[in-house]
A = this chain, B = another copy of it.
């Protein structure tokens, strides 16, 4: 049984896994690229080894080096986190071949679910409904896809066969734009996953993206931890998740039914460890299997908040060969949780990624607030990895309490040095449709306009004018070296010296 774990990842998820290991008394091994020497996962781990240059394929994708480091350091297991090597069946197999425990599913399950075509065929055979599309028909050329497209009908999605997380995905609304979009999707898929194959899928309109968290042990126990509502997406990237789903709400029967189907889908591939079954659900509560993510999910903390299950600790427990701590009957949802993904990107500049040195952070804290982050003041965000720098998770007794808590946490959260999408989340939290829980996967792109110029009557434009004027005035005063007498000392330092006098 292993007592040291190598974390083959970086950023917030590496920190999250290190924390779980520490709390289980396991030693941790970090790996890092040149730009991550001072990253939090390196600072927090018991051991840390250099991997290579910043580009992922020279560092965090170097499975061979990572296994070599695991063996050298005496780590008995590797946790892949999400992204990078997490869904590479060959890497999972290589770990096992090297005598290391892979904290995740069996390579066969990764392979079966990793190829979306096989995945859909497998679960379909197990009686789970799937979205219509070309999945299961192998690697098709552009010409073949162009021929099939009209039989599925527009709009449709071109999606990377090896993909996930919205990368290598394009929405196609007509046949004319299809060749160009196919090429773009292939190119992105090639860059992200080293595999440029794409398939087509019917785009369901007014659909919800709802997923179920699965836990499965080696003893054949498979349970689900309820759903997560992930319909709020921008460019097919999840941006905010909540649980329970406001769409399922208190329809326990529907929840139980979908949960059972999710468990069945996991069982269809002999699934072990943590995984997620993603469904599309239309407005008539018809649901279709979309894909299975055979790894820990970015948004796992909201499930932890409402079920009180530590998913990462369960993953490790399973990998150690123990049976689950919970049966399906033990699991229930308490209260409501929301996660906002805080990305280093500028919402006022078309969400372009933002890089640079973080100069200051004021973290929101207090009751019901959890922050999972991999950055700190002084750390530099490089352009090499994805822009998720922090996850802000709140938990409340009701959805209303969770929303109000998220609002106050977002208002408290200050990051300077890089731009973040915090203002976007603030606007989202104030949107009436979000508050009412009325949104689908198209909501953000179709109905939610994020625009700084839309300043309404109730706004603080006058205050903004005053603030800008005061700052400008201060700058002019300083630059012209005007020395004012009696200017108020802005620090409270002087009072430390005055303490004596004041105290008398």
Q: Which residues of A contact B (CB under 8 A)?
A: 15-16, 19-20, 22-25, 34-38, 44, 53-55, 58, 301, 304, 308, 310, 334-335, 355, 357, 360, 362-363, 365-367, 369-373, 376-378, 380, 382-384, 396-397, 401, 404-405, 407-408, 411-412, 490-493, 495-496, 499, 502-503
Do residues B502 and A401 form an inter-chain contact, with CB atoms below 8 A? no
Contacts of A366 in B (CB 8 A): 15-16, 19, 370-372
By the criterion CB–CB under 8 Å, are A19 and B377 in contact?
A: no
The one of B23, B55, B401 that contacts A503, using a Cβ cutoff of 8 Å: B55
Inter-subunit contact B19/A380 (CB<8 Å): no
Cβ contact of A308, chosen from B334, B371, B376, cutoff 8 A: B334
A372 near B365 with CB under 8 A, answer yes
Tell me which residues across on chain B come within 8 A of A411, comparing CB atoms.
22
Asked if residues B404 and A308 are in contact (CB atoms below 8 Å), the reply is: no
Contact A495–B34 (Cβ < 8 Å)? yes
CB proximity of A306 to chain B, nearest CB, Å = 12
Distance, CA A310 to CA B411, complexed state (A): 20
User: Are B301 and A367 neighbours in the complex by a CB distance under 8 Å?
Assistant: yes
Query: Is A408 in contact with B54, judged by CB distance below 8 angstroms?
Result: no
Q: Tell me which of B24, B355, B401 contacts A496 (CB under 8 A).
A: B355
CA distance A499 to B383 in the complex (A): 8
Contact indicator B35/A492 (Cβ below 8 Å): yes
Chain B proximity of A49: nearest CB distance (Å): 16
In the complex, which of the residues B54, B370, B493 contacts A367, with contact meaning CB atoms closer than 8 Å?
A: B370
Query: Which among A304, A405, A499 has the highest number of chain B CB atoms within 10 Å?
Result: A499
30 contacts between A and B (CB under 8 A): A16-B366, A19-B367, A20-B367, A22-B407, A23-B396, A23-B401, A23-B404, A23-B405, A25-B404, A34-B495, A36-B492, A37-B490, A44-B412, A54-B492, A54-B499, A54-B502, A55-B502, A58-B502, A310-B367, A355-B496, A357-B493, A365-B372, A366-B372, A367-B370, A377-B377, A380-B492, A380-B496, A382-B499, A384-B495, A384-B499
Identify the 10 closest CB pairs spanning chains A and B, nearest first. Answer: A35-B492, A22-B408, A365-B371, A23-B404, A35-B495, A19-B366, A380-B492, A54-B495, A363-B363, A23-B405
Q: Which of chain B's residues have a CB closer than 8 A to the CB of A54?
A: 492, 495, 499, 502
Closest B residue by C-beta to A311: B367
Majority SS at the chain A contact face: mixed
Chain B, Cβ-Cβ closest to A405: B23
Whether the pair B383, A362 counts as a contact (CB closer than 8 A) is no
Q: A54-B502, A362-B376, A376-B362 are in contact. Are A367 and B25 (CB under 8 A)?
A: no
Count the copies: 2
For A495, give the chain B residue with the smallest CB separation: B35
A372 to B2, CA, bound (A): 36
Chain B residue with the shortest CB-CB distance to A37:
B492
- Note all chain B residues with C-beta closer than 8 A to A310: 367, 397
Within 8 Å CB of A25, what residues of B?
Answer: 404
Select from chain B the residue with minimum beta-carbon distance to A395: B308
Known A54-B502, A380-B492; 5 more pairs at CB < 8 Å = A23-B401, A36-B492, A308-B397, A369-B370, A383-B496
Contacting A53 at CB < 8 Å: which of B16, B335, B502?
A: B502
- In the bound complex, residues from chain B placing their C-beta under 8 Å from that of A396 are 23
- Whether A363 contacts B365 by the Cβ 8 Å rule is yes
Q: Quick check: A493 and B380 within 8 Å, CB to CB?
A: yes
**Interchain nearest-CB distance for A299 vs B (Å):** 14
Which residue of B has the minimal Cβ distance to A401? B23
Q: Give complex CA distance A490, B35 in Å.
A: 9
Query: Which residues of chain B come closer than 8 Å to A360, judged between CB atoms?
Result: 377-378
Residues of B within 8 A of A384 (CB): 495, 499
Distance (whole angstroms) from the CB of A109 to the closest CB of chain B: 26
Q: Which residue of B lies closest to A24 (CB)?
A: B404
How far is A401 from B412 in the complex, measured between Cα atoms in Å?
29
CA distance A197 to B301 in the complex (A): 53
State the CA gap A477–B496 with chains docked (Å): 36
Q: How far is the CA of A492 from the CA of B39 in the complex (A)?
A: 10
- Which residues of the partner chain B approach A377 to less than 8 Å between Cβ atoms? 360, 377
